[in-house]
């Protein structure tokens, strides 16, 4: 009787078949899952669902594990219909957990005026990082910037900062949603930002943050440094929630629309995942409708 393949062996066979379409981070995540699962991904669907429920109470964890299991089972021509149906049923639980966390976060986050006051007290690299979070809604990976005097003709998989005399240009190519939103460019003419950047005395091809030998940091190390440099160690996601809450209070929907482009995300995602006032998807949809109506009214008033 032939030996049955392990989950890891099955996963590696799947990865080999889709090598060019799967990210390194996804490979790493799925490898960890395949090593952790105490049962074969090829057993019956009802048994998989039963075991997942027994072992993992968090619906996010179950959904993540199901993603890997479904892909590997498809590769092995095993049925997945019940698993897909079960994964879809977890969405309501995931949304509820997210909203509960958002509600708790709302009462613990500092105000927008607080973080702006803190920003103005900062200098150097801390000012640069937090300025980009607060003013442009960038993620950690976006600010892993390489300083250049001009953009190369053949761009690498890098994020560039072009330092000019009166402004700087960010040319962002390597970020979370780059496959969907493509290249992002941001022009910054803020004098303090430019002065603080120049005070770092970085040279052409230096990284904004780098290893001691000047080489580019791995993403995990970069993320750790960035969180420690953020105001009160809040991290970019919490700062973005504070920013969105402030803009909703002001009904500054044009700025939120601008952040859609600079962050590289959809309006729906912003209002579902970063809106501290939203308790349901209906709230998000109502907010989007209100925004569109308000922006249309402003356009009409401007044209009169």
Task: Give the confidence band of 210 by pLDDT, cuts at 50, 70, 90.
Answer: very high
Q: Which residue has the higher pLDDT, 21 or 146?
A: 146
CA distance 210 to 239: 23
| Residue 12 CB burial class (10 angstroms; 0-12, 13-18, ≥19) | middle
CB 222 within 8 A of CB 144: yes
Q: Which residues pair with 148 in a beta bridge?
A: 162
Find, among 302, 303, 294, the residue nearest to 253 by Cα: 294
In this prediction, residues 291-301 reach a mean pLDDT of 48
Q: Which ranges in the chain belong to alpha helices (H)?
A: 7-17, 24-36, 45-55, 59-75, 81-89, 91-108, 112-121, 124-136, 178-181, 191-199, 219-229, 235-250, 253-263, 267-273, 281-303
Which CATH number is 112-303's, of 1.10.287, 1.20.1050, 1.10.443, 3.30.2310?
A: 1.10.443
Find, among 162, 161, 147, 158, the residue nearest to 207 by Cα: 147
Task: Give the confidence band of 105 by pLDDT, cuts at 50, 70, 90.
Answer: low
- Torsion angle in degrees (nearest 10) through CA of 117, 123, 124, 125: -30
CA distance 242 to 250: 13
Model confidence pLDDT, tens digit, residues 151-197: 988 888 899 999 888 899 999 999 988 888 899 999 999 999 999 99
Interior/surface letters 136-165, b for 16+ CB within 10 angstroms, e for the rest: bbbbbbbbbbbbbeeeeeeeeebbbbbbee
């Amino acid at each position: 009787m032939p030996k049955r393949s392990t989950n890891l062996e099955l996963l590696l066979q799947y990865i080999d078949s889709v090598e060019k379409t799967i990210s390194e981070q996804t490979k790493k995540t799925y490898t960890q899952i395949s090593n952790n699962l105490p049962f074969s991904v090829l057993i019956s669907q009802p048994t998989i669902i039963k075991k997942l429920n027994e072992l993992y109470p968090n619906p996010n964890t179950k959904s993540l594990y199901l993603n890997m299991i479904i892909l590997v089972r498809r590769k092995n021509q095993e049925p997945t219909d019940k698993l897909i149906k079960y994964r879809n049923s977890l969405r309501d639980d995931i949304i509820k957990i997210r909203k509960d966390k958002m509600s708790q976060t709302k009462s613990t986050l500092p105000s927008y005026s607080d973080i702006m006051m803190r920003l103005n007290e900062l200098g150097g690299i801390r000012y640069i990082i937090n300025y980009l979070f607060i003013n442009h809604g960038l993620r950690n990976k976006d600010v892993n910037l390489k300083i250049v005097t001009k953009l190369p003709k053949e761009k690498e998989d890098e994020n560039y900062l072009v330092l000019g005399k009166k402004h700087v240009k960010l040319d962002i190519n390597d970020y979370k949603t780059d496959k969907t939103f493509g290249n992002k460019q941001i022009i910054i003419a803020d004098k303090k930002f430019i002065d603080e950047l120049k005070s770092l005395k970085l040279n052409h091809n230096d990284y904004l943050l780098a290893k001691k030998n000047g080489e580019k940091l791995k993403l995990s190390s970069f993320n750790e440094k960035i969180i420690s440099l953020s105001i009160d160690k809040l991290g970019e996601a919490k700062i973005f929630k504070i920013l969105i809450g402030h803009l909703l209070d002001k009904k500054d929907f044009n700025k939120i629309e601008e952040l859609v482009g600079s962050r590289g995300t959809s309006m729906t995602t912003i209002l579902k995942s970063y809106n501290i006032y939203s308790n349901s998807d209906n709230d998000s949809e109502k907010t989007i409708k209100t925004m569109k109506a308000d922006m249309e009214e402003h356009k009409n008033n401007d044209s009169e």
